[in-house]
């Protein structure tokens, strides 16, 4: 289920990149910084909360998701990489976590635990100093 990213909410900036490209990286701005206004996406509340957790420092206090792609040599490849990463983050945020059902240990499990503790206690108690009286 790939999320459909509206073009009007994207803001692209191209920066001078590092990495592969030789002298070309000093002349051409190939790194792509993609900004997405998450509030305008209209995500479900659970997906928004999960996206904040997953994105971490990539999300600003104003609800902007900032992804910088600079691993490729061309603008087009970095642009596609940035968009794919944003879509992947949003898709991961839409996966609901299974609800945890709280359970209690059975009486038999509690008894086994207490017996094991008593056994360890007696082993440790018998480790005292030996007296030859």
Local confidence band at 1 (pLDDT 50, 70, 90 cut-offs): low
Local confidence band at 131 (pLDDT 50, 70, 90 cut-offs): confident
Q: Give pLDDT, residue 20.
A: 63
Backbone angles phi, psi at 11, to 5 degrees: -130, 115
> Are the beta carbons of 65 and 55 closer than 8 angstroms?
yes
What does the pLDDT look like over 11-26, one tens digit per residue? 888 888 776 666 766 7
Where along the chain do its domains lie? 7-93
Cα–Cα distance, 42 to 54 (Å, whole number): 17
Structure tokens belonging to residue 105: 């240990």
Q: What's the rounded mean pLDDT across residues 120-130?
A: 87
Task: Identify which has the larger pLDDT, 1 or 102.
Answer: 102
CATH fold for the domain made of 7-93: Double Stranded RNA Binding Domain (3.30.160)
Q: Give pLDDT, residue 111.
A: 97
Q: Which of 3-7, 18-22, 93-97, 108-112 has the lowest mean pLDDT?
A: 18-22
Cα–Cα distance, 58 to 28 (Å, whole number): 25
Task: Identify which has the larger pLDDT, 73 or 36.
Answer: 36
Cα–Cα distance, 87 to 119 (Å, whole number): 56
Q: Give pLDDT, residue 25.
A: 67
Q: Give pLDDT, residue 128.
A: 76
30 backbone φψ class: left, alpha, beta (φ>0; ψ -120 to 50):
alpha
What does the pLDDT look like over 75-87, one tens digit per residue? 899 999 999 999 9
Q: Which helix (H) or strand (E) holds 26?
A: helix 24-27
């Amino acid at each position: 289920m790939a999320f459909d990213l509206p073009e009007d909410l994207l803001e692209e900036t191209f920066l001078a990149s590092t990495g592969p490209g030789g002298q070309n990286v000093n002349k051409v701005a190939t790194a792509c910084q993609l900004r997405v206004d998450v509030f305008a996406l209209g995500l479900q509340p659970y997906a928004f909360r999960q996206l904040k957790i997953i994105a971490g420092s990539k999300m600003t206090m104003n609800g902007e998701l900032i992804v910088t792609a600079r691993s490729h040599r061309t603008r087009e490849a970095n642009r596609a990489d940035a968009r794919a990463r944003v879509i992947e983050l949003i898709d991961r945020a839409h996966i609901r976590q299974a609800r945890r059902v709280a359970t209690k240990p059975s009486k038999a499990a509690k008894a086994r635990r207490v017996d094991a503790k008593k056994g360890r206690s007696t082993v440790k108690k018998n480790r005292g100093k030996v007296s030859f009286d």
